[in-house]
Each structure stands twice: as structure tokens, then as C-alpha cells.
Amino acid sequence: MREIVHMVHTSLDGCVEGPNGEFDWPVLGPELSGYSRELSARCGEFAYGRKVWDMMAGFWPAAESISDDPHDLAFAPVWRETPKVVFSRTLEKPGWHTRVVGGDLHEAVASLKAEPGGDVLLMGGAELAAALTARGLIDEYQVFVHPVVLGGGKRPFAEGTARLGLDLVESRTFDGRVVLLRYRRA
């Protein structure tokens, strides 16, 4: 059975975006970029909430014409080719090898987990991550802490997320800068 793996980048002060919605601060050096590609290869599908989907779909299809960052250039074709799922009640035609699921989260995730293939990699999405966490539907959390203080902004889980006990299964440093904290549900 497939698992849901939540991958999220945070600042040292625990934000996933700055006070004005900035997401220009995560730096993926060679080690972290390589790990990201390994994790993507392990997973058979990427998952997003609607807001993160809009951001990703606005960048990755044309990443090579927007960025010269080595990570972006290596990941763009992976993103375009990997199947994707968007949790949304309003998105109709996402494109880019993507399907939309709505309705009951338990049913949608149970169906996703029962499909053959690699794990489902949930990237970002505070509201969706909180909703899935509240229902016990995320199996693994991979939190990448970057050496930046943003001074406020959105947190990785929406306000009101209930307490959740987790087991630390790995910690690791990439490029001498970013710390991975990898947890599984207790």
C-alpha cells in the first residue's frame, strides 16, 4: 500500500512563506537537490492543494526559461513527467499529467493509497497538510529547516491543528545549511 509523505520547507522561525507570501528563500544546494530527486523517484505521484498547485503550475512547465538554477533545470522535466494529483473542489482542467480529487478526504486518500505504484509526495500546502494530519492520513513528514528567519508568515500547519505524537526516524544536514527532520506517525 502506498503512503503519503509530506515534504515541507520551513524557515528557522517555522514559516513556509514570508509575511507577504514570499517563497524565494529555500536554497537547494547540490546535496539537497540530489536528495529531492531521490525522494521524487521513490514516489510515484506528487500531491498538492489548490494554492500550491497554482504556484507549481505557474513555474515548472516553463522553468528552463525562467531560471538558470541547477536544481530547477534538473527537476523541471521530472515535475512535468511525474503524475500529479490536486485536492480541489473547484479546479477542472489542470493539465500537466494531473488529476483532480475532491470530496471526502478519507475516501480520496484511501483510494490513492490503494493504487499500485510508489508513494504519494505531498509538497507544501498548510491547509491540506493540516486537514490530512487531523484525519491521520499522512504517514511520514519530511521537514527541511532552512537557515533564514522570515519574521512571520504562514506556518506549515494551519492554526488549530491538533497535537500529534511523532517518532524521529532520521535527521540529516544538506550542503552544510539545511537540516532534514524526518518523522513517522507514532
Query: What digits encode the pLDDT tens for the residues 68-91?
Result: 999 999 999 999 999 999 999 899
Task: Report the predicted TM-score, pTM, of the whole model to 2 decimal places.
Answer: 0.93
Distance (Å, whole) CA 109 – CA 112? 5
The CATH number given to whatever domain includes residue 12 is: 3.40.430.10
**H-type alpha helices, the chain:** 30-42, 50-59, 63-66, 70-81, 105-114, 126-134
Rounded Cα–Cα distance for residues 138 and 152 (Å): 26
Q: Torsions phi, psi of 112, nearest 5?
A: -60, -45
Number of domains comprising the chain = 1
Alpha carbons 164 and 161: distance in angstroms, whole number: 9
The full length of the chain comes to 186
Residue 131 belongs to domain spanning? 4-185
- Summarised one tens digit per residue, pLDDT across range 110-156 is 999 999 999 999 997 888 998 999 899 999 999 999 999 999 888 88
Q: Give the pLDDT confidence score for residue 94 in this predicted structure.
A: 87
